Amino acid sequence: MMNAIVATQPQGDEDIFAALAAQPADALLGLIALYRNDQRSGKIDLGVGVFRADDGSTPVMRSVKAAEKLLLQEQTSKSYLGPEGDAIYADLLAEIVLGGEQAQSDRITGVQTTGGTGALRLGAELLKRVRPNATVWISTPTWPNHGPIFIEAGVAVRSYRFYDVASATVDFEAMMEDLEHVAAGDIILLHGCCHNPTGATLSTQQWRIIANLCEERGLLPFIDLAYQGLGDGLDEDAAATRQLFAALPSAILAYSCDKNFGLYRERVGALWVQAPSPASAAIVRSNILSLARGLWSMPPDHGAAIVRVILETPDLRADWMIELAEMRSRINALRTALAAAHPDLAFIGDQRGMFAMLPLAPDAVVAMRREKGIYMAGNGRINIAGLTLPTIPAFVAGLAPHL
């Protein structure tokens, strides 16, 4: 037995990592360096999804700076908080996300996570524990990291049709057709608002149909809410999430504060799980905490502490809401201007959030980058916040030949 193990061990200078295949760098994040190294003036960055002001910067929000100042003055310890992170942060944020009444429910339990990705991963690990043979169904298209997050956690992933790029519309019929065949106990991943990458929105009626389907067929909705407040408003953007939580016994919600608090690199997120009973929710919580302990032990504190200070300080909370409304107005004004700039872009005016997906072949995306210095994701997704009213004409001129 011992010998067999020794025989399979690498000998001498043999490469212990030889079984690994090289992995491509993340294409979306790779755009950050590509853009930075482009020396052309007039280049336009519509790549990674960060909010940008008119001067192209992604500023730290006023309310965030003020909260950091308060923290610097008043924080007395950096001792451990535990795998749940900052519990007051999660409670205060729950009111913003789920609304007052649902946030009080003892069937819902929530913890701080390391960004929205951490929330998705923690939720995936929970699914792996409770439904090891279930499949998570993700939309086509979706954020390119959704599939890998679940697959890395050992959860099977399949796709449902969602959006028709050519007609720039949600193909709800196709979506329902695919979801009709999903096995009971499977999970549907849904974007709570501001769909990434398409910007497409579902109506209240369509969300009701999805809720009914989940109820009738015993499907579990797993909502990813990463852009609350950047579409139509804080309450409006959370309406679908609240609708599903109200209609169903169980639901999962992964949340990100990256965009609406501008805290990207601080990695601030949260996971909420609704269970059919308070007793079940308590057991879920104990599992979430043990999973978090194994994943990252405890989430990083600084970003969540900022959000907590903003939400518990009335002046900062009010200012954050003003700043968020300004960001939202900027994006929606750009949407209106883009929609008016070319007949083939008219669809952008009715969509919401940071992104729109253009009907471009991959070589057109590369050509726009090489020839015009216009950067976007390989699937034709643009970050609308990367535009300004003055740069729209150059963008549309670069784009038009490819439409």
* Binding residues for ligand LMR (CB under 6 A): 28, 48-49, 143, 145, 196
CA distance 169 to 343: 15
Indicate if 372 belongs to the active site.
no
The DSSP string of 260-307 is TTT-GGG-EEEEEEE-SSHHHHHHHHHHHHHHHHHHTSS--SHHHHHH
Q: How far is the CB of 47 from ligand LMR (least distance, A)?
A: 7
Q: How far is the CB of 334 from ligand LMR (least distance, A)?
A: 17
Q: Which of 86, 211, 254, 259 is catalytic?
A: 259
Tell how many helices (H) and how many strands (E) occur in the chain: 14, 13
- Contact between 269 and 119 (Cβ < 8 Å): yes
- Upstream peptide bond of 197 is cis (omega within 30 degrees of 0): yes
Q: Which residue is nearest to ligand LMR (CB)?
A: 49
Q: How far is the CB of 104 from ligand LMR (least distance, A)?
A: 30
Q: How far is the CB of 140 from ligand LMR (least distance, A)?
A: 16
- Token pair, residue 62, equals 């006023």
Indicate if 69 belongs to the active site.
no
| Helices 204-217 & 172-180 angle (0-180, nearest 10) | 10
Closer residue to ligand LMR, CB minimum distance, 194 or 310: 194
Q: How far is the CB of 377 from ligand LMR (least distance, A)?
A: 7
Cα–Cα distance list, 364 to 34, 380, 398 (Å): 17, 9, 10
Q: Which of 66, 94, 226, 377 is catalytic?
A: 226
Closer residue to ligand LMR, CB minimum distance, 219 or 327: 327
Q: Which of 224, 237, 258, 319 is catalytic?
A: 224
CA distance 321 to 327: 10
Indicate if 224 belongs to the active site.
yes
Closer residue to ligand LMR, CB minimum distance, 145 or 388: 145
Closer residue to ligand LMR, CB minimum distance, 26 or 215: 26
CA distance 165 to 351: 13
| Strands annotated E in 47-99 | none
Indicate if 226 belongs to the active site.
yes
Instruction: Choose among 103, 125, 99, 102: nearest CA to 114.
Output: 125
CA distance 242 to 139: 20
Closer residue to ligand LMR, CB minimum distance, 275 or 384: 384
Q: How far is the CB of 26 from ligand LMR (least distance, A)?
A: 8
- β-pair partners for 376: 46
Closer residue to ligand LMR, CB minimum distance, 44 or 220: 44
Instruction: Enumerate the active-site residues.
Output: 143, 224, 226, 259
